[in-house]
């Protein structure tokens, strides 16, 4: 199998100095070990069928054996973050497992840009992040990982112990192995996406079941409270209808986004107002700075406030016409701090082991990098929430 090697003269001077791919043309290829290469491919094919996640570590070790390299690894591209992440490292650089490198300023990036195997001589001379990491690489051979359809998703790279080590025979063998690596990566990514989708579906089902139960509980409480404060059935129907519509509007904020439509964002005060609109039978006070929040933060915070309001409806200030609720929030450079204070109700005790709603609030806050602390008092309850400002950005 012949692989074309062409020097790209448009490379920046510092990178062109360490780019020595053309040297592969002039080095006599080492005697190929076809049996070893055949056995390596057979082993990878078997692993791909039964244990696809084991393919990359085996491929890296096989590559090192075939090429006599000092170290090797796979760099997988994350297009959104514009960086590579190192996986399945072996040899002297194994300590860098999981490290990230920039897409547009790295040997791996040059390999993908040129869409062919490349060779570099002491790349730390051109890339300061390699030098600062204390890495010395006499020669680095990089081969693009191609998946079905021709898209490159990363590189297979090998580091030699001495200069002048790699030749065209090594390049040929690594190109063949890289084909299997690309297929394995695609299988792993497909499996991970499927597992994530199933996990999200299960979580969604549990949350929906919990929300439906809460909706029935809230509705029953609304009917009782509205009936006590209404003089006629028409007044009861009018008040109850308005509150149920407000409840539906607030509940619609707690959703999962499956489409690709754009989301304009929600104002923090608007979110609280929509969640608390069904509880106009009590005094509700909102005070805080203007703050725009993104779609994911809207989902998370609507869920948190909905759970707090639900508990208040069942046990706290929203369960009686004499209760009151105050929500205050402030924003500094990095954190949004909110205090939820219920007063005018009976003594509230902290939950024992915590129900699903209590756990859901804690898990949701944790997912945003925030926290919630409760203060259970004789005349009510207060909760203090802290969320990183970055977690609320649109």
* pLDDT of 205 over the 80 cut: no
Going from the C-alpha of 210 to that of each of 37, 220, 244, 276, 310, the distances in angstroms are 56, 16, 18, 19, 11
Residue at 86 is within a domain: yes
Distance from C-alpha of 7 to C-alpha of 3, rounded to nearest angstrom: 13
The closest alpha carbon to 339, from 349, 325, 323, belongs to 325
* Position 379 in a domain: yes
pLDDT score at 218: 63
User: Is 44 domain-assigned?
Assistant: yes
Where a domain ends, among 142, 168, 192? 192
104 in the same domain as 187 = yes
Owning domain of residue 295: 229-392
CA 189 to chain centre: 14
Judge whether residue 75 has pLDDT over 60: yes
Asked, for residue 1, whether it belongs to a domain, the answer is: no
Does residue 258 register a pLDDT over 80? no
The residue among 192, 218, 244 that closes a domain is: 192
Q: How far apart are CA 169 and CA 156, in angstroms?
A: 16
pLDDT at residue number 141: 96
Whether residues 81 and 178 fall in one domain: yes
CATH number, domain containing residue 119: 3.30.450.40
Is residue 337 in a domain? yes
- Asked whether the beta carbons of 85 and 214 are under 8 A apart, the reply is no
> How does pLDDT run across 56-74, given as a tens digit for each residue?
788 888 888 888 999 999 9
E strand intervals along the chain: 71-78, 83-91, 100-102, 118-121, 139-146, 152-159, 266-267, 283-288, 292-293, 324-331, 335-343, 371-377, 380-388
Are 18 and 166 members of one domain?
yes
Within this chain, do residues 181 and 286 fall inside the same structural domain, yes or no? Answer: no
Confidence at residue 323, expressed as pLDDT on a 0 to 100 scale: 79
pLDDT of residue 350: 63
Mean pLDDT for 345-369 is: 73
| Highest mean pLDDT out of 11-15, 64-68, 162-166, 342-346 | 162-166
Report how many domains make up the chain.
Answer: 2
pLDDT digits (tens, 9 = 90+) for 16-44: 999 999 998 888 887 767 667 666 666 66
CA distance 23 to 357: 65
Retrieve residue 180's tokens: 């299997």
78 DSSP β-pair partners: 83
Q: Last residue of a domain, which of 164, 192, 220? A: 192
Same domain, 267 and 188: no
Q: Are residues 157 and 258 in the same domain?
A: no
**Averaged over 80-95, what is the pLDDT?**
92
Rama region for 346: left / alpha / beta (φ>0; ψ in -120 to 50; rest) = beta
What is the average pLDDT value for the chain, to the nearest integer? 80
Residue 187 shares a structural domain with residue 261: no
- Report helix, strand or coil for 159: strand
User: 391 or 296: whose pLDDT is higher?
Assistant: 391
The answer to whether residues 150 and 250 belong to one domain is no
Cα 77 to Cα 154: distance, rounded to the nearest angstrom: 5
Least confident of 49-58, 120-129, 348-357: 348-357
100: pLDDT strictly greater than 80: yes
CA–CA separation, 76 vs 157, rounded Å? 11
Between 1 and 21, name the one with better pLDDT: 21
- Based on the fold, state whether residues 87 and 170 are members of the same structural domain: yes
Residue 245 counted as domain residue: yes
Q: Same domain, yes or no, for 384 and 322?
A: yes
Tokens of 234: 């028409």
Q: Does 303 lie in the same domain as 188?
A: no
The CATH number for 335's domain is 3.30.565.10
Q: What is the pLDDT of residue 80?
A: 86
**Average pLDDT score over residue span 348-371:** 76
The per-residue pLDDT for 9 is: 47
Q: What pLDDT sits at residue 6? A: 47
Looking at residues 241-270, what average pLDDT do you find?
Answer: 61
Going by C-beta distance under 8 Å and a sequence separation of 6 or more, which residues neighbour residue 255? 299
218, part of any domain: no
In a domain, 317, yes or no: yes
For 142-153, the pLDDT digits (tens) are 999 877 666 778
Q: Is the pLDDT of residue 387 over 80?
A: yes
Same domain, 170 and 306: no
The predicted pLDDT at position 211 comes to 62
Among 159-163, 174-178, 198-202, whose mean pLDDT is lowest?
A: 198-202
Residue among 283, 27, 323 at smallest CA distance from 163: 27
Task: Say how many C-beta atoms besides its own lie within 10 A of residue 51's C-beta.
Answer: 11
What is the mean predicted confidence (pLDDT) over 126-135? 94
β-pair type (283-288, 324-331) = parallel
Q: What is the pLDDT of residue 47?
A: 64
Q: Which residue has the tokens 């297929």?
A: 183
Residue pair 43/121 in contact by the 8 Å Cβ criterion:
no
pLDDT of residue 98: 92
């Amino acid at each position: 199998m012949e692989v074309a090697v062409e020097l790209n003269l448009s490379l920046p001077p510092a990178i062109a100095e360490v780019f020595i791919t053309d040297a592969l043309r002039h080095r006599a290829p080492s005697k190929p070990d076809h049996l070893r290469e055949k056995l390596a491919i057979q082993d990878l094919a078997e692993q791909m069928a039964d244990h696809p996640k084991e393919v990359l570590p085996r491929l890296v070790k096989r590559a090192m054996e075939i090429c006599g390299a000092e170290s090797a690894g796979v760099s997988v591209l994350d297009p959104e973050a514009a960086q590579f992440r190192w996986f399945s490292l072996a040899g002297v650089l194994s300590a860098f497992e999981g490290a990230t490198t920039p897409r547009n300023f790295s040997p791996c990036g040059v390999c993908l840009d040129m869409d062919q195997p490349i060779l570099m001589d002491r790349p730390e001379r051109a890339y300061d992040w390699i030098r600062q990491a204390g890495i010395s690489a006499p020669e680095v051979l990089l081969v693009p990982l191609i998946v079905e359809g021709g898209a490159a998703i990363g590189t297979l790279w090998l580091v030699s112990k001495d200069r002048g080590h790699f030749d065209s025979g090594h390049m040929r063998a690594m190109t063949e192995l890289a084909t299997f690596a690309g297929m394995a990566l695609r299988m792993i990514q497909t499996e991970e996406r499927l597992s994530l989708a199933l996990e999200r579906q299960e979580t969604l089902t549990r949350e929906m079941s919990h929300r439906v139960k809460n909706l029935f509980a809230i509705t029953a409480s609304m009917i009782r409270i509205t009936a006590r404060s209404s003089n006629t059935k028409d007044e009861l129907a009018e008040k109850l209808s308005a509150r149920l519509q407000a409840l539906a509007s607030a509940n619609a904020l707690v959703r999962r986004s499956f489409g690709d439509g754009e989301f304009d964002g929600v104002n923090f005060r608007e979110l609280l107002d929509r969640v608390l609109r069904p509880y106009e039978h009590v005094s509700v006070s909102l005070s805080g700075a203007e703050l725009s929040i993104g779609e994911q933060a809207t989902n998370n915070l609507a869920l948190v406030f909905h759970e707090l309001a639900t508990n208040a409806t069942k046990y706290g200030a929203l369960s009686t016409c004499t209760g009151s609720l105050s929500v205050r929030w402030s924003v500094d450079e990095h954190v949004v701090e909110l205090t939820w204070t219920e007063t005018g109700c009976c003594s509230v005790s902290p939950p024992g082991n915590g129900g699903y709603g209590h756990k859901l609030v804690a898990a949701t806050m944790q997912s945003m990098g925030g926290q919630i602390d409760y203060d259970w008092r004789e005349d009510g309850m207060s909760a203090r929430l802290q969320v990183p400002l970055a977690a609320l950005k649109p």
